[in-house]
Amino acid sequence: MNPKLRQWVDESVRLTKPEKIHWCDGSDAEYRGLIQLMLKDGTLIELNQQTYPGCYLHRSNPNDVARTEGLTFICTKKKDDAGPNNNWMDPAEAKAKLTKLFDGSMKGRTMYVIPYLMGPSGSAYSKVGVELTDSPYVAANMHVMTRVGKPAFDRLDRTGEFVPGLHSLADVNPERRFIMHFPEEKLVWSIGSGYGGNALLGKKCFALRLASYMAKEQGWMAEHMLIIGLTDPGGRTTYMLGAFPSASGKTNLAMMVSAFESQDYKVSTVGDDIAWLHIDDEGQLRAINPEAGFFGVVPGTNVQSNPVAMEMIRSNTIFTNVAMTPNREPWWEGIGYDAPAGTLDWQGRFWNSEMGKAAHPNSRFTTPAKACKTISPRWDDPQGVPISAIIFGSRRSSVVPLAFQSFTWKNGVLMGAGMGAETTAAATGAVGVVRRDPMAMLPFCGYTMADYFGHWLAMGKRMNKPPLIFRVNWFRKDNGGKFLWPGYGENIRVLKWILERIDGKGKARETPIGYFPTPDAIDTTGLKLAAGAMEELTALDKPGWLKGADSMKEFFDPFGSRMPKEIWYEHEQLCKRLHAF
């Protein structure tokens, strides 16, 4: 037993005072045991085992259904190191505050000790974490989302290194809820929430917030990105990354089934949420998916939007906060059929449409990656996959065109850094408000984004041939509020244009913002679009971008002198080009 691990578990046991300790081995038997236990105590509800074998429903505390960004802190010694993009608390103060809350918080409960590996077994890029939790729901989800047990111990034996994460539900009270990160110590303390991103500490806490900090120190990158392969009709596969804010269709894009009937393009899934990126000896950027499962948004999932997920979540899935029909099947808004009479909403109440939504807008599924029909044969390749393009995307009903390409890596870094996004239900707070969400990392960057942008610039210089950078927007609306682009499987047409640009082809025109596709550059054969839609989707909204450039400046200003000069230079050039246009 690793002495550091032993000592930390002992200390945590003394503090939280659990009744029992369960060391997780990651076995199927253990998973089944956790499910049985939760069925017994009501944490899980059995769904219809004929039609949804191995599927269960968890209803969380209604006060605990999304990430709570306001209660999430980066605790560095210096406030400036956390930056204006994070809530900050002094590490000693945070420890003192949470020590009180953790004191006896596991009384009468079992502490699960969960050793887990983030990344493929045998990959030099993978890292070990250990989570201590009093939530069997968290333990079961960690089983699905990470590689628990042996793969972690094997690595731990070799390196001796792990990231500790202490988690307790305590009394699930927002007044006493904190998600605290100590990047200098590589430690997470999370209390008072059982929700995914707050409680599955391998995910946002380790694989993004702490890992982004470690990546900066060690010369790699941890990003909020999907990883896909796009195979062309000739059978050649090109790998791409996509950074989109939470609940903006990342899982749908990652598992996309091409709706392009006339042409044989195929998407394969390497990851749907997080990418760890390294530069190899040849100067090529490579990506691994640190996770082993999907924690996807359920509402809106149907046979059109994501047929692969629809099939995948028919078995061995934990549903959180969906509705349930009288036939004990899960139901959600956008599933493709009406809720039968007698459906219970996500809080277990008899539902009618006057009560609002039956499923919570941020209801989720947890499913193993290997159950995904489009999973890439290289999804757990220890070397990762070589990356040719990075796509930034977000919800914008106006201004941002369907797609465009940045001029250079540096210019692309500004494009990512200045990305505006409409907020979604994945975090508590108002939905649909435009905020700057650089690289879709605003809630997940474990240090000041001034240094983060600098790190992006530095990484670009180390790459032999940096990936091309693109911006996409599937969510553009017309004046009447109707979507201009059909999205989902039709997005393959945009990916095809991106592939053509990678190959030095693909029609484009130069604008002050970057290379925009010409209205005929994206193949629309067989699509029924409104007249003039492609013109509108590829037009330059000069006043909109001028305002956008102003709000980028507003976002960048508080970073002060720490902001890289090159970002300001790129911003200045952008404004100049816009004014001259």
223: partner contacted, choices Mn ion, ligand SAT, none (Cβ within 5-8 A by kind): none
Contacted by 196, from ligand SAT, Mn ion, none: CB < 5 to 8 Å by type: ligand SAT
Q: Which is nearest to 287 in space by CA: 239, 319, 252? A: 239
Tell me how far CA of residue 445 lies from CA of 83, 442, 451, 500, in angstroms: 10, 6, 10, 32
The residue (of 425 and 578) whose beta carbon lies closer to ligand SAT is: 425
- Give kind and range of the element (H or E) at residue 165: strand 163-168
Cβ closer to ligand SAT: 419 or 537? 419
Q: Is 74 left (phi over 0), alpha (psi -120 to 50) or beta?
A: beta
Closer by beta carbon to ligand SAT, 196 or else 514: 196
Question: Phi, psi at residue 535, to the nearest 5°?
Answer: -60, -45
Q: How is residue 354 written in tokens?
A: 């006057």
Q: Which is nearer to ligand SAT, 246 or 511 (CB)?
A: 246
Backbone angles phi, psi at 28, to 5 degrees: -60, -40
State the minimum distance, in angstroms, from the CB of residue 264 to Mn ion: 30
Calpha distance 161→153 (Å, rounded): 10
Could you tell me the smallest distance in angstroms from the CB atom of residue 435 to Mn ion? 16
For residues 329 and 340, what is the distance between their CA atoms, to the nearest angstrom? 10
Pick what 448 binds: ligand SAT, Mn ion, none; C-beta below 5 to 8 Å, kind-dependent. none
Pick between residue 89 and residue 372 the one whose CB is nearest to Mn ion.
372
Residue 493 contacts residue 523 (beta carbons within 8 Å): yes
Q: Which does 197 bind (CB under 5 to 8 A by kind): Mn ion, ligand SAT, none?
A: ligand SAT
Token duo for residue 521? 């550059």
Residue 227 beta carbon to Mn ion: minimum distance, rounded to whole angstroms: 13
330 binds, among Mn ion, ligand SAT, none (CB under 5 to 8 A by kind): none
- Cα–Cα distance between 209 and 82 in angstroms, integer? 11
Judged by CB, which is closer to ligand SAT: 16, or 141? Answer: 141
Q: Supply the minimum distance, in Å, between the C-beta of residue 205 and ligand SAT.
A: 9
Pick what 216 binds: ligand SAT, Mn ion, none; C-beta below 5 to 8 Å, kind-dependent.
none
Cα 390 from chain centroid (whole Å) = 15
* C-beta of 67 vs 95, nearer to ligand SAT: 67
Question: Rounded to an integer, what distance in angstroms lies between the CA atom of residue 53 and that of residue 248?
Answer: 29
Which residues in this chain contact ligand SAT in the complex, by CB under 6 A? 67, 196-197, 203-204, 246, 295, 426
| 416 contact, one of ligand SAT, Mn ion, none, CB 5-8 Å limit per kind | none
Inter-residue contact 332 to 322 (CB < 8 Å): yes
Q: Which residue is nearest to ligand SAT (CB)?
A: 197
CB atoms closer than 10 angstroms to residue 8: 18
Q: How far is the CB of 222 from Mn ion (least distance, A)?
A: 12
- Which of the listed partners (Mn ion, ligand SAT, none) does 295 bind, with a CB threshold of 5 to 8 Å by partner kind? ligand SAT
Binding site for Mn ion (CB under 5 A): 246, 273
Q: How far apart are alpha carbons 59 and 330 in whole angstroms? A: 12
CB of residue 296 to ligand SAT, shortest distance in Å: 9
Shortest Å distance, C-beta 137 to ligand SAT: 13
Nearer to Mn ion, 246 or 268 (CB): 246
Cβ nearer to ligand SAT, comparing 211 with 533: 211
Which DSSP symbol is given to 203? I
380 binds, among ligand SAT, Mn ion, none (CB under 5 to 8 A by kind): none
Sign of torsion over alpha carbons 360, 361, 362, 367: positive
Minimum distance from CB of 246 to Mn ion (Å)? 4
For residues 21 and 509, what is the distance between their CA atoms, to the nearest angstrom?
Answer: 63
